[in-house]
């Protein structure tokens, strides 16, 4: 099923699940990015849509840590007063896709069915047609009987 992802306020996709996992490994998306799968009505995170992504498979997890960076001293940051921290802007998610996808034009160029399967298919159609004709004949018989009874009552 198609998966849609929100990145930088834009809806991107559709993707297959394997494609989304690969894009996470490449660093294009994170597991916390909003996503929705066809058939869902509410946006959630990628990890809720496709399940947790294994960190062992990520190329980032496979790389060795840079020991030079670990040896460096951390810089002291100056504290910021809570009043100076700006409020984060609310993220506007686009509405989820509603209803069925738009119709697509399909052209059938060939049907390759074995002969035995085609014979069975045609016999099933003939059987279904026979049942429909029997039911239609029974309904028409009842209608004619009612009409004949009405005409007989009127002529008396």
Give the domain CATH number at 30: 3.30.1490
Across 76-98, average pLDDT: 64
For the entire predicted model, the pTM comes to 0.37
What is the pLDDT, as a whole number, of residue 61?
45
What is the pLDDT, as a whole number, of residue 62?
46
Task: Name the 3-class secondary structure at 54.
Answer: coil
Across 49-53, average pLDDT: 82
Query: In this model, does residue 52 exceed pLDDT 90?
Result: no
Is residue 29 a part of any domain in this protein? yes
Expressed as residue numbers, the domain containing 136 is 112-156
Query: In this model, does residue 135 exceed pLDDT 90?
Result: yes
CB proximity list for 33: less than 8 A, separation 6 or greater: 5, 6, 7, 45, 46
**Can you read off the two tokens belonging to residue 40?**
């869902």
Phi-psi domain of 39 (left: phi exceeds 0; alpha: psi -120 through 50; beta: other): left
Domain total in the chain:
2
What is the pLDDT, as a whole number, of residue 78?
58
Is residue 69 a part of any domain in this protein? no
Comparison of pLDDT for 112 and 64, the residue scoring more: 112
What is the pLDDT, as a whole number, of residue 40?
81
Is residue 133 a part of any domain in this protein? yes
Q: Which residue has the tokens 């069975």?
A: 120
Is residue 70 a part of any domain in this protein? no
Is residue 76 a part of any domain in this protein? no
Is residue 16 a part of any domain in this protein? yes
């Amino acid at each position: 099923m198609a998966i849609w992802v929100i990145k930088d306020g834009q809806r991107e996709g559709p993707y297959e699940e394997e494609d989304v996992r690969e894009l996470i490994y490449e660093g294009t998306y994170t597991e916390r990015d909003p996503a929705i799968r066809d058939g869902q009505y509410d946006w959630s995170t990628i990890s809720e849509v496709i399940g947790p992504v294994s960190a062992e498979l990520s190329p980032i997890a496979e790389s060795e840590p840079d020991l030079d960076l670990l040896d460096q001293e951390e810089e002291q940051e100056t504290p910021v007063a809570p009043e100076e921290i700006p409020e984060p802007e609310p993220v506007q998610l686009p509405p989820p896709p509603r209803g069925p996808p738009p119709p697509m034009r399909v052209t059938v160029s060939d049907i390759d069915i074995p002969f035995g399967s085609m014979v069975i298919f045609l016999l099933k159609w003939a059987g279904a047609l026979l049942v429909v004709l029997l039911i239609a004949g029974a309904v028409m018989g009842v209608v004619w009987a009612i009409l004949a009874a009405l005409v007989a009552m009127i002529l008396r």
